[in-house]
Amino acid sequence: MKTYDTIIIGAGHNGLVAAAYLAKKGKKVLVLERRDMVGGQVVTESFGENFKVDSLHAGGTLRPDIIKHLNLASHGLVVDTVRKPFISLQADSKHLVFDADPAKAAESIKRFSEKDAANWIPFLDFMNKVSRFVHSANAAIMPRLPKGFNASEGMALAKLGINVRMLGGKNMMRIIRGIPMTADEFVDEWFESDIVKAAVASLGLHGFTLGAFGAGTGYTLMHNWANRGGMSHVSVQGGIGKISEALAGAVRLLGGEIRTNAEVKKVVIKDMRASGVVLSNGEEISSGNVISAADPKHTFLSLVGAMELPPEFVWNVQSIKMRGSVAKVHLLTDGKHGIPDGTVVVAPSIKYLEKAYDAAKYHQISEKPYLEVTTSGNVVSIHFQFAAYKLKSGDWKTEGAKVEKIAMDTLAEYFPDLKPSIVNRKVLTPLDLETTYGLTEGDLNHGQLMLDQFMFMRPIPGWSNHRTPIDNLYLCGSGVHGGGGVSGASGRNVVKVLK
Amino acid sequence: MTTNNYDAIIIGGGHNGLVAAAYLARAGKKVVVLERRDMVGGATITEEIIPGFKFTEFSYVVSLLRPEIIRDLKLPQHGLKILPLPSTFTPMDNGDYIAGWDDHDTTRREIYRHSPKDAEAYDEYGRRMARLAKAIKPILSILPPDPTSLHPKDLMGLLKLGQFASSLTEKELYGLAKIMTQSAADMLEEWFETPALLGTKSASGIIGTFLGPRSPSTAYVLLHHYMGEIDGAFRAWGFAKGGTGGIAEAIASSARAFGSEIRLNATVKQVIVKGGRAVGVALENGDEIYAKAVLSSADPFVTFLKLVEAKHLPDDLIHSIQKFRTRGSSGKVNIALSELPRFTALPDQNVLHRGAVSISPSIDYIERAYDDAKYGRFAKEPYIDMIFPSMIDPDMAPPGKHVMSCFVQYAPYDIEGGWDDAKREAFGESVISTTERYAPNIRRPTLGKQVITPADIENITGITGGNIFHGELLLHQLFFMRPATQWAGFRTPINGYYLAGSGAHPGGGIMGSPGKFAAELALKDGI
Amino acid sequence: MQQLRNTPFHERTSALCQPQNWRKWAGYYVVGSYEHTIDREYWAIRNSAALIDVTPLMKYMIKGKDAANLLDRVTTRNIHKMSVGQVYYTAWCDDEGKMIDDGTVARLDETTFRLTSAEPNLRWLMMNAVGFDVHISEVSDSVASLSLQGPNSRSVLKRVCESDVEGLKYFRLMKNKLGGVEVTISRTGYTGDLGYEIWMEAKDALKVWDALMEAGQDYGITPVGILALDMTRVEAGLFMLDVDYTSASHAWIEAQKSSPFELGLDWTVALDKPGYFVGRKALEKEKKEGSSWKMVGIEIDWVGMEALYAEVGLPPQVPGTAVRASMPIMVGNVQVGYASTASWSPLLKKYIALAHLEKPYYELGTDVRMEITVEHHRKHAPAKVVKLPFYEPEWKKK
Ligand SMILES: Cc1cc2nc3c(=O)[nH]c(=O)nc-3n(C[C@H](O)[C@H](O)[C@H](O)COP(=O)(O)OP(=O)(O)OC[C@H]3O[C@@H](n4cnc5c(N)ncnc54)[C@H](O)[C@@H]3O)c2cc1C
Ligand SMILES: Cc1cc2nc3c(=O)[nH]c(=O)nc-3n(C[C@H](O)[C@H](O)[C@H](O)COP(=O)(O)OP(=O)(O)OC[C@H]3O[C@@H](n4cnc5c(N)ncnc54)[C@H](O)[C@@H]3O)c2cc1C
């Protein structure tokens, strides 16, 4: 039996980042992935002839320092430099277009409010500072409060403090105040037009089961803005899956091993210490450390088992809010769909967004959903919110068709040519996110990024520093601080904690 | 007419204004309270709207009033008595009920009837909340520092805050962080499973907010309601003799006894500012009164945007106050009764009428009531917190008759189309018809009622938006952000001008702390 | 309105309770004492046979494939070593190794256990049962229990039970038939004397009571309230939750919590059992580093106490029941601990107390002084740390 320094469970981008950094340090690492491909949610897949799509995550990039450290360009990663526009659809077809060029965007905003147009550039300036704040916060490992800072955690936190102060007193307060705000309140500080407000506020809801009137969507707005580097997605040449492939390439080149179709069933624990894993096929592999890049609920309740963990800890893990409410609808068209290039949203008003969320609150599928649409040639990809993972009535085995229909009907109101152009379709329900992509309750972020589940509360109070009650077992997926979205931060951070 | 010889003017004779006046007078200062209405009390009043029936018109129960204020101002000598409110009774849709009584074992038995698990969770939960309330209490008496400032006073404040934080255990610290940010529903669902228990508990998290129990950060409001103290006992809500107007009367009487003047029907139009200093006020009737300092217990919107000219204030502050959320969401329905309503769930007993009755059958019930309000309608089936003041203090109604006080959520201030008489009537009817489902005789004994919408609250008490706390208890409107960052310390950019009402730290409710803090600061500043 | 409960023995106990001395215990009313003075009840425990209604104990049934695994995780003892028919006394802790409660675990069959406790523990058990194949149910109300204690208790049972209890060993249990009713009898108790506890369905309660009272007539059987019980448990060196220690889940501050080592329960902490159990890491650490407190017995020096009273011209006075109050314990002028329960022992003719002392004062033989109030003035009576229990008759375990 071969033994490794570290086994990493899950080849999502965070698991791969952790593996690459460890391999770079000369460690013997093995990444185990249950699917037949690497990447987790950052994958490009084919659902039929000419029907190749970024299945889930629509676009984005890793932190630039990670791309550099791991030399990902040499593994074929090319991130687009041109940022496409962000377009909020209007019934009269006079869409609100946030062009990457601020002046052009302001021009479009002017149609809705002069004042808002004038505020656009100051707002962008503020959001740049916000992004700096979010990135430095994500680069810090959140220590255990109030005791138990170790030197490197203390340093990272001090750096964060300094970075925040460097934004200036006023900006700092504005950001701090913005965190617990609702997306509605956050945008209301800057804009008066409901249309402008809703377009910007939609970022605060994207991927989360929260409404525009939910406290903390101020923060998620900042988070998504920072991860995207703006409002629209940037795309990766050849599909977002290239990120994962490049990472896998780096891992292998640095001597790491990656095995797909290798589902971990159990973490082997002896005397409250992890010493390896058992695969679904019964194979046992031992290692010095185990890092789980799967979500914390799955990690602790299935892979470790509640019996091995303290009762309060188990209770806290059970209480982690995993509330998937995102579905994806991919349409293969003949090319005449009529949808413009860019990130296109159906988010006409704040109350529209809120109502869409109400459906998730009551465990339903929104009849008037908030949609974010991207196109790639003939393919139209629709991000659908809200569709609750736990349905009050009906079953995800059959309700997928309903999501598909609502998505197409909603879009067809703006693009009458869309429906006739459709050649093939693929819907991914919240249940598919769980069964196919391994996300407990279909939660993309491995746990909602709510105020009580972020920073030093992520994944649960007292365990924000990647460690777990089991010695030698660590976490590095999106469920820990730094995670949520594609940046690689939590995969990078765990390496600093490892003994 | 001009008067010139006061040390301090207090704008507004609400309970905070009166507390401020009493403390200043007690320190030997010459003070005058200027109140626009013909009575003191603000949102803390009792009125005989229907002859013989005393309505505790707005606020109706008390728990947060600081014990040191009661002692310092000798309020018991001025008639203050806080009587116990021993139970909470929640009728359920299946004809049963769930209740909390004042005896721990009895309550446990009662909850056990519905869920053994909840009965135990109830104990543990109660202890955790009490511990958290105890842990956070010191914050209520720390003057909020300005974290962006490098001024020694603020650094000291931050240091104190740091010392406070490090005095907490890990569990307390995380507990606080969690409770500040969670939704009441998420927090409670970690503990309980009985819908009516969840509904009733979650209701404390939404009182006075424009949020539903599923909105993040409502758990804090829940804790805010745990923080009251009656005679040193945590968690006890009581009823003041004579209604909450009895509290205002007692404080007014104490203030007068210390030598303060109180003028009614005296609406302040503007604060007179000279050389960056508040030197007096001009009244609506043209009178001018001068003093060394002016303390406003009106809400922040009135205090900063109506009473002083914009040129005296920095743009930032004006912007923040304009964005300060004060959306009213609650109403009141006060009813004169010829007999007590009989709740079908427990028809033969009067014991429940000595406590509160809560119409809160589930979290979703309240959440849906909120949904109505967020889209501009009053709730068709509202959350109601009712008490029967005449069952606690028999002097509130003629012998054999009763008064009933219903606190109702949600009713949005910004109702679609604006409030009018027809909507007020319909809103009152929603309360009656909702109650009728659980107490079918409610209509028969009704002798008359008073329906108060958020617009009425604004009209009568002058509180902008009719928000019961002078500004919602939102995370970004608390502590060093209440009412605005950098101006959370009761002082204002205008020297000698102080905010002394519920819009300041630590916030709303009959507490008296803002009035006391502001008075103490004014004294420290040497007025 | 929901009322507090009467136990299923109420019909009998209420008829006998002369002084209307009722106590609240876990949501039930139980008899404090049946007579105006408790002497006769005390001596029944120590000299004949006492019948005590202990129904308010919390009782849980734990059934299923993982029942033993769950209890092994929750409690400090090695449950896997337990045989069917055996009873363990055990503590259970939070993950910081601080005691939540204590009680008995009885193994009724391979996969069925009954747990008793002072406080409700259902929630704690459920929290711990995640991932286990077990069914936990609370049977506090449906199972009635009587404690039959005293040197004659065996003779009473021999007369009334269908199967002989002669062979029933200390901390073992057996199924039996008593007064025509199915019961379980365990050789356990809270008095430190020979004694048994009898478990039955609530509906059979009166039949069992009547049968025992009748059979016990010739052996001096006496209904006994919880005040006399309280005195004997002090003599037996047995502590009580909420009196002698605070449950970790009730404590306001760290200092109020106790570990099993601090309460002298070293023998119940099976650090040699494999795998995780709740509190393991903390308990291992405490075992290694030693405890800073310990609960011990102290004996107040009668002559010394007499002298303190003599100073003001009084004969010494001792309370008639166990005193549940915190009494400071000094060495020199420094407080080194406190007594949590003190009692006059009518049998030993000694004033004794359960005391919590700091290291190193908890060593056997240490001279300390306990605070007493002599004619409104605080005095310190000389006392000595002694071995627990204060009283253990040779027939207790035989
Ligand atoms: C439709 C969609 C849109 C999104 N949009 C945004 C956005 O705009 N902004 C944003 O911030 N985020 C967004 N996200 C979220 C973001 O994509 C994720 O947070 C991120 O990709 C998670 O990366 P990860 O490496 O932490 O975990 P994952 O990518 O989830 O990887 C975990 C891996 O572990 C594997 N695994 C699980 N269990 C086992 C096991 N037992 N054995 C072996 N392998 C196992 C899984 O198969 C998976 O490959 C979006 C996600 C989706 C689905
Ligand atoms: C319907 C309702 C129910 C409530 N229920 C409870 C409860 O049960 N328990 C509880 O603790 N709290 C309750 N509250 C909240 C509590 O009543 C308030 O937070 C508190 O009374 C506010 O006190 P204050 O002194 O700060 O302000 P206010 O009571 O609002 O007093 C301000 C005073 O200033 C006067 N004023 C304003 N402008 C001027 C001016 N220009 N010139 C002169 N005077 C002016 C006003 O007339 C008023 O008298 C309730 C509030 C409402 C509205």
Q: Calculate how far, in angstroms, residue B461's C-alpha sits from the geometric centre of ligand 2.
A: 6
User: Do both A310 and A449 map to the same domain?
Assistant: yes
Q: What is the pLDDT of residues B222-239, one digit of tens each?
A: 887 777 643 444 447 899
User: Do both A101 and A224 map to the same domain?
Assistant: yes
Q: What does pTM read for this prediction? A: 0.94
Given A144, A170, A361, which is nearest B214 (Cβ)?
A361
Q: Does A334 touch chain C (CB under 8 A)?
A: no
- CA torsion sign for C158, C163, C169, C170 is negative
Number of H helices, E strands in chain C: 9, 20
The reply to whether ligand 2 has any atom less than 6 angstroms from the CB of B329 is no
Percent of chain C with pLDDT over 70: 99
CA distance B408 to B208: 10
Bridge partners of C22? C31
Q: What is the mean pLDDT of chain C?
A: 96
The reply to whether ligand 2 has any atom less than 6 angstroms from the CB of B468 is yes
Ligand nearest to the CA of A476: 1
Q: What is the pLDDT of residues C132-146, one digit of tens each?
A: 999 999 999 999 999
The reply to whether ligand 2 has any atom less than 6 angstroms from the CB of B243 is no
Q: Which of C98, C123, C142, C250 is most worth mutating to test chain B (most B CB atoms within 10 A of its CB)?
A: C123
Give me the DSSP letters along B233-284: EET--EEETTSTHHHHHHHHHHHHHTT-EEESS--EEEEEEETTEEEEEEET
Q: Is the pLDDT of residue B157 over 90?
A: no
Which residues in chain A are contacts of B314 at CB distance < 8 A? none
Between residues A254 and B66, which one has the greater pLDDT? A254
The rounded radius of gyration (Å) of the Cα atoms in chain B is 22
Q: Which atom of ligand 2 is nearest to the CA of B12?
A: 34
Neighbouring residues of C221: CB distance < 8 A, sequence distance ≥ 6: C44, C48, C49, C50, C51, C148, C152, C156, C212, C213, C215
Mean pLDDT in residue range B292-318: 96
Instruction: Give me the pLDDT at residue B487, please.
Output: 86
Instruction: Give me the pLDDT at residue B132, please.
Output: 84
The CATH number linked to C163 is 3.30.1360.120
Cβ neighbours around B71 below 10 Å, total: 10
B30-39, B474-483, C194-203: which has the minimum mean pLDDT? B474-483
CA distance C259 to C94: 10
Mean pLDDT in residue range A253-282: 97
In a domain, C246, yes or no: no
Pocket-testing residue among B47, B207, B297, B477, ligand 2, by greatest number of atoms within 8 A of Cβ? B297
Q: Which range scores top for mean pLDDT: A173-182, A193-202, B179-188?
A: A193-202
Which residues in chain C are contacts of B116 at CB distance < 8 A? 122, 138
Cβ neighbours around C321 below 10 Å, total: 16
Q: Rounded to a whole number, what is the distance in Å from the CA of B218 to chain A's nearest CA? A: 9
Residue of chain A minimizing CA distance to C133 = A307
Q: Do B177 and A452 touch (CB under 8 A)?
A: yes
Q: Rounded to a whole number, what is the distance in Å from the CA of A317 to chain B's nearest CA? A: 11
Dihedral (Cα; C342, C345, C346, C348), 10-degree rounding: -160
Q: Whose CA is nearest to atom 27 of ligand 2?
A: B14
The one-letter amino acid at C195: G
Q: Calculate how far, in angstroms, residue A346's C-alpha sits from the geometric centre of ligand 2.
A: 43
Percent of chain A with pLDDT over 70: 97
Inter-residue contact B39 to B462 (CB < 8 Å)? no
Mean pLDDT in residue range B201-228: 87
User: Do both A453 and A430 map to the same domain?
Assistant: no
User: Do both A429 and A395 map to the same domain?
Assistant: yes
Q: How far is CA A286 from CA A268, B166, C398, in A?
A: 8, 41, 53
Mean pLDDT in residue range A74-97: 94
Q: Is the pLDDT of residue A1 over 80?
A: no
User: Do both A208 and A104 map to the same domain?
Assistant: yes
CA-closest candidate to residue C245, choices C262, C233, C267, C232: C262
Q: Rounded to a whole number, what is the distance in Å from the CA of A488 to chain B's nearest CA? A: 26
Q: What is the mean pLDDT of chain A?
A: 94
Q: Is C362 helix (H, G, I), strand (E, B) or coil?
A: coil
CA-closest candidate to residue B260, choices B35, B9, B80, B38: B9
Q: Calculate how far, in angstroms, residue A479's C-alpha sits from the geometric centre of ligand 1.
A: 10
Given A185, A355, A462, which is nearest B174 (Cβ)?
A462
Q: Name the DSSP letter for residue A300.
A: I
Helices (H), chain C: 10-16, 39-47, 67-74, 122-128, 153-160, 205-216, 226-235, 280-289, 302-311
Which residues in chain A are contacts of B174 at CB distance < 8 A? 145, 457, 461-462
- Look at chain C and report how many structural domains it folds into: 3
In a domain, C237, yes or no: no
Domain final residue, candidates C240, C269, C289: C289
Q: Provide ipTM, 2 decimals.
A: 0.92
Q: Is the pLDDT of residue A159 over 60?
A: yes
Inter-residue contact C156 to C97 (CB < 8 Å)? no
Chain C: list its partners (3+ Cβ pairs within 8 Å).
A, B
In a domain, A52, yes or no: no
Q: Do B174 and A145 touch (CB under 8 A)?
A: yes
User: Do both C47 and C177 map to the same domain?
Assistant: yes
Domains recognised in chain B with CATH numbers: 2-44+66-79+241-323+474-524 (3.50.50.60), 116-193+204-236 (no CATH)
Inter-residue contact A1 to A226 (CB < 8 Å)? no
Q: Is A366 helix (H, G, I), strand (E, B) or coil?
A: strand
In a domain, C254, yes or no: no
In a domain, A50, yes or no: no
Q: Which domain holds residue C379?
A: 293-394
Q: Name the DSSP letter for residue A254.
A: T
Ligand nearest to the CA of A483: 1
What is the β-pairing status of strands C377-386 and C367-374?
A: antiparallel
Mean pLDDT in residue range B70-75: 97
Polymer length of chain A: 499
Residue of chain A minimizing CA distance to C70 = A307
The CATH number linked to A475 is 3.50.50.60
Which residues in chain C are contacts of A307 at CB distance < 8 A? 69, 73, 131-132, 276
The one-letter amino acid at A1: M
Q: How far is CA B203 from CA A212, B325, B470, C372, in A?
A: 22, 20, 19, 50
Neighbouring residues of A378: CB distance < 8 A, sequence distance ≥ 6: A50, A332, A333, A334, A335, A337, A423
Q: Is the pLDDT of residue B259 over 90?
A: yes
C335: enclosing H helix or E strand: strand C334-345
The reply to whether ligand 2 has any atom less than 6 angstroms from the CB of B37 is yes
User: Do both C68 and C129 map to the same domain?
Assistant: yes
Q: What is the pLDDT of residues B47-57, one digit of tens each?
A: 999 999 999 99
Q: Name the DSSP letter for residue C389.
A: P
CA-closest candidate to residue C189, choices C143, C235, C124, C246: C235
Q: Rounded to a whole number, what is the distance in Å from the CA of B364 to chain C's nearest CA? A: 25
User: Do both A389 and A463 map to the same domain?
Assistant: no
The reply to whether ligand 2 has any atom less than 6 angstroms from the CB of B434 is no
Inter-residue contact B36 to B52 (CB < 8 Å)? no
Distance of CA A396 to the CA centre of its chain: 22
**What six digits make up the tokens of B206?**
């939404």
- CA geometry: angle B227, A319, A399, nearest 5 deg: 125
Distance of CA A457 to the CA centre of its chain: 18
Inter-residue contact A292 to A10 (CB < 8 Å)? yes
User: Do both A289 and A361 map to the same domain?
Assistant: no
Strands (E), A222-377: 257-259, 264-270, 273-279, 284-292, 326-333, 343-346, 365-376
Q: Which domain holds residue A11?
A: 3-42+62-79+237-321+443-497
Q: Calculate how far, in angstroms, residue B472's C-alpha sits from the geometric centre of ligand 2.
A: 13
Q: Do C1 and B99 touch (CB under 8 A)?
A: yes
Q: Which atom of ligand 1 is nearest to the CA of A13?
A: 25
- Look at chain A and report how many structural domains it folds into: 3
Chain B: list its partners (3+ Cβ pairs within 8 Å).
A, C
Q: Is the pLDDT of residue C66 over 80?
A: yes
Given A147, A214, A355, which is nearest B216 (Cβ)?
A214
In a domain, A489, yes or no: yes
The CATH number linked to C380 is 2.40.30.110
Q: Do B105 and C27 touch (CB under 8 A)?
A: yes
User: Do both A119 and A70 map to the same domain?
Assistant: no
Give the CA diameter of chain B. Answer: 70
User: Do both A141 and A245 map to the same domain?
Assistant: no
Q: What is the pLDDT of residues B440-462, one digit of tens each?
A: 999 987 899 999 999 999 999 99
Pocket-testing residue among B32, B59, B451, ligand 2, by greatest number of atoms within 8 A of Cβ? B59
Q: What is the pLDDT of residues A376-395, one digit of tens each?
A: 999 999 999 999 999 999 99
In a domain, A407, yes or no: yes
Residue B209 burial (CB < 10 Å; 0-12/13-18/19+)? buried
In a domain, C199, yes or no: yes
Q: How far is CA B524 from CA B9, B21, B27, B62, B145, in A?
A: 16, 15, 11, 30, 16
Q: Is the pLDDT of residue B333 over 70?
A: yes
What is the β-pairing status of strands A273-279 and A264-270?
A: antiparallel
**What six digits make up the tokens of A24?**
């770079």
The CATH number linked to C282 is 3.30.70.1400
Which residues in chain C are contacts of A315 at CB distance < 8 A? 127
B160 band by pLDDT with thresholds 50, 70 and 90: confident
In a domain, C242, yes or no: no
Mean pLDDT in residue range B52-71: 94
Domain final residue, candidates C289, C306, C331: C289
Q: Is the pLDDT of residue B161 over 90?
A: no
Residue with tokens 């992935």, as numbered in its chain: A33
Q: Name the DSSP letter for residue B304.
A: I
CA distance C390 to C320: 18
Q: Whose CA is nearest to atom 2 of ligand 2?
A: B58
In a domain, A90, yes or no: no
CA-closest candidate to residue A96, choices A107, A88, A104, A84: A88
**What six digits make up the tokens of B330?**
């609650």
B303 band by pLDDT with thresholds 50, 70 and 90: very high
User: Do both C100 and C205 map to the same domain?
Assistant: no
Q: Which residues line ligand 1 (CB under 6 A)?
A: A 9-15, 32-35, 40-42, 56-58, 206-207, 224, 227, 263-264, 293-294, 298, 303, 326, 328, 383, 437-439, 444-445, 477-478, 483-486
Residue B287 burial (CB < 10 Å; 0-12/13-18/19+)? middle
Given B101, B105, B120, which is nearest C123 (Cβ)?
B120
